């Protein structure tokens, strides 16, 4: 019984303490509110003195080198590989024979097709002479001409197959990978070699909408590579996308000469875009605009009050906006606190 009485007393005491704390906090908040109410009622803001500053349009964009051409060479005929004339790492020129396929049967087929074609050519000439004397009909002559065309097509096909037995490099470059061995049998469209042309490299980077408007194809670009920190490579803009990607960036392609093959495809590099110096212009923080830059409205500090002013915004560079018209040097623009401001409201600069 005594234990129950003790517990009840403790609970009542605890509830009383909680009520006291809540009541005391309420009194303190009321006091603070009354102090604020008795103050000036000014909105605390941050400001910036309007002045001209230099505009820097230069920017750096990163990417990876890609080969000028990257081609997988496939077989155009089937047969047994009799000779391989290059290996991985070999440099080849366009049109160079790099492998051979057994062509014995192909030569036989070509000889037969050529003989049949030449015979039909002579027969056609005889038929064209005979029709003048009525020795053959027009239908027979037409059939002969059709047979000649068929024979000519077979002859040209046989020539092409024999030519394809000597596998030639379709581009100049380096054999990056070999897939065949001497004596192996290959089918049509079997992968034979990977050939890459690194005499020139492509560096693909991105530029945003404000950067891309200052770029043109042919513009010179200096390129730096992490593995050669003391060297700068010359490049030029070779392609600018007409459409932005999903991230609203525009792919830009830079071509770099690589005559000594020092640079390798896949290396990480930085493109350093440099532009002529711009005349200083009035720039303000982007946060100074009411709502967004599109509103073209800012609050100016005039004495101890805020006044709305309409301005003409220009380029957005980073977190700053160019002001074409509406502001003068020496004036003060409010850069934060606008959400609580109205035209003519009293303000206090935050210290």
pLDDT digits (tens, 9 = 90+) for 65-110: 999 999 999 999 999 999 999 999 999 999 999 999 999 999 999 9
Confidence check: pLDDT of 14 > 90: no
**How confident is the model at residue 106, as a pLDDT?**
95
The pLDDT assigned to 103 comes to: 95
Name residue, tokens 């002013």.
309
SS3 (DSSP) at 256: strand
Residue 162 token pair: 């024999």
Domains and CATH numbers, the chain: 43-55+279-349 (2.40.420.20), 59-67+196-273 (2.40.30.170), 74-192 (1.10.287.470)
The per-residue pLDDT for 82 is 96
- Predicted TM-score (pTM) of the model is 0.64
The pLDDT score that the predictor gives to residue 260 is 80
Per-residue pLDDT at 136? 85
Q: What's the confidence (pLDDT) of residue 38?
A: 40
115 — phi, psi (to 5°)? Answer: -65, -45
Kindly tell me if the per-residue pLDDT of 326 is higher than 60: yes
Segment 298-315, tens digit of pLDDT: 999 999 899 999 999 988
Separation CA 322–CA 35 (nearest Å):
41
The Cα 178–Cα 167 span in angstroms is 13
Rounded to whole angstroms, the Cα distance separating 326 from 328 reads: 7
Contacts of residue 269, defined as CB under 8 A and 6 or more positions apart, other chains included, come to 62, 63, 64, 65, 203, 223, 224, 225, 226
Residue 17 has a pLDDT of: 53
pLDDT digits (tens, 9 = 90+) for 194-232: 999 999 999 999 999 888 988 999 999 999 998 998 899
CA atoms of 72 and 192, how far apart (whole Å): 7
More confident residue, 133 or 58: 58
Containing 141, the helix (H) or strand (E) segment is helix 138-164
Q: Could you tell me the pLDDT band of residue 15, with boundaries at 50, 70 and 90? A: very low
**What pLDDT digit, counting tens, does each position of 173-190 carry?**
999 999 999 999 999 999
| Cα–Cα distance measured from residue 335 to residue 45, given in angstroms and rounded to the nearest whole number | 7
The whole-number pLDDT of residue 31 equals 41
Mean pLDDT along residues 5-13 = 42
Contact 298, 311 (CB under 8 A): yes
Q: Which of 158-162, 223-227, 237-241, 260-264 has the lowest mean pLDDT?
A: 260-264
């Amino acid at each position: 019984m005594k234990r129950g009485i003790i517990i009840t007393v403790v609970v009542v005491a605890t509830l009383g303490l909680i009520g006291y704390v809540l009541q005391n906090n309420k009194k303190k908040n009321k006091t603070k509110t009354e102090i604020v109410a008795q103050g000036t009622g000014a909105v605390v803001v941050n400001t910036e003195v309007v002045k001209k500053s230099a505009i820097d349009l230069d920017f750096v964009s990163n990417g990876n080198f890609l080969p000028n051409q990257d081609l997988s060479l496939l077989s155009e005929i089937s047969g047994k590989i009799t000779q391989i004339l290059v290996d991985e790492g070999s440099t080849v020129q366009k049109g160079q024979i790099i492998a051979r396929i057994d062509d014995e049967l192909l030569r036989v087929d070509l000889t037969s097709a050529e003989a049949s074609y030449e015979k039909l050519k002579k027969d056609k000439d005889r038929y064209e002479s005979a029709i003048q004397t009525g020795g053959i009909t027009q239908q027979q002559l037409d059939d002969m001409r059709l047979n000649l065309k068929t024979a000519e097509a077979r002859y040209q096909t046989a020539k092409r197959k024999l030519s394809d037995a000597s596998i030639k490099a379709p581009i100049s470059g380096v054999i990056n990978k070999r897939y065949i061995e001497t004596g192996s049998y290959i089918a049509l469209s079997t992968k034979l070699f990977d050939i890459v042309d690194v005499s020139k490299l492509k560096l693909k980077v991105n530029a945003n909408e404000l950067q891309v408007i200052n770029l043109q194809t042919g513009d010179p670009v200096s390129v730096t590579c992490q593995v050669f920190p003391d060297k700068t490579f010359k490049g030029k803009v070779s392609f600018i996308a007409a459409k932005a990607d999903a991230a609203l960036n525009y792919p830009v392609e830079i071509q770099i000469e690589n005559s000594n093959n020092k640079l390798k495809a896949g290396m990480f590099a930085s493109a350093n875009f440099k532009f002529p110096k711009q005349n200083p212009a009035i720039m303000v923080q982007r946060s100074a605009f009411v709502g967004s830059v599109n509103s073209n409205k800012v609050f100016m500090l005039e004495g101890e009050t805020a006044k709305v002013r309409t301005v003409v915004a220009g380029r957005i560079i980073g977190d700053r906006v160019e002001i074409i018209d509406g502001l003068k040097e020496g004036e003060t623009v409010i850069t934060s606190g606008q959400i609580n401001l109205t035209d003519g409201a009293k303000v206090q600069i935050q210290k």
